[in-house]
Amino acid sequence: MESLFVPTLIVALAEIGDKTQLLALLLAARFRKPWPIIWGIVLATLANHFAAGAVGNWVADFFAPTTLSWILAASFVAVALWTLVPDKLDDEDSSALKRYGPFLTTLIAFFIAEMGDKTQVATVMLAAQYPHFILVVLGTTLGMLIANVPVVLAGNFAAERLPLMLIRRLAATAFIALAGYAGYQALVLGGGF
């Protein structure tokens, strides 16, 4: 169950203030139809994170457990630092998709916005760390939904009232804790680099 719960928590925290959360807010404000937007988020995230999880699971086979733990520790530190940087959304990128309606616009925009995003990178790393990659994908998708569905449903109210800096710091702390755990695993498994 750790393969499900840890990714859920990590991604839910990392997603707060992320560009895809800002995109969810923008889509909710433009279309005012929450359910097609939510379903677009679900399908886009499942597809994107399934691919990312598969890559993470595949990459894990190429490295010795100690080496993989050190790579994961360094990656988690990098994502922790990245989490502290606020995202901005380029309004022009999403406006071109509006003509496709709320579901298709959300599906396409979310899939593209997640490419190379910190939550996608986190999914790759978590799938490399945990043995049940399907549970990792479900967890990261659930984390995205925990962070984005309230924004879609509540619109501007929720986004304006959240303490974004505190949440970013909590997410960064969680990634640092994962880095520490991965480093500890590397030391236990075999020591040095």
In the predicted structure, residue 183 carries a pLDDT above the cut 60: yes
pLDDT score for 78 = 81
Q: Are 184 and 66 contacting, i.e. CB atoms less than 8 angstroms apart? A: no
Q: Are 85 and 19 contacting, i.e. CB atoms less than 8 angstroms apart? A: no
pLDDT score for 191 = 57
Task: Name the token pair of 106.
Answer: 């959300």
In the predicted structure, residue 189 carries a pLDDT above the cut 60: yes
Q: How confident is the model at residue 175 (pLDDT cuts 50, 70, 90)?
A: confident
**Average model confidence (pLDDT) across the chain:** 82
pTM: 0.72
In the chain, the number of structural domains is 1
φ, ψ for residue 48, nearest 5 deg: -65, -45
Task: Name the token pair of 123.
Answer: 């999914």
Across residues 55-81, what is the average pLDDT? 82
Across residues 53-80, what is the average pLDDT? 82
Across residues 59-79, what is the average pLDDT? 81
Residue 124 belongs to domain spanning: 2-189
State how far Cα 134 lies from the chain centre: 15
Across residues 31-54, what is the average pLDDT? 93
Task: Name the token pair of 109.
Answer: 């925009």
pLDDT score for 94 = 46
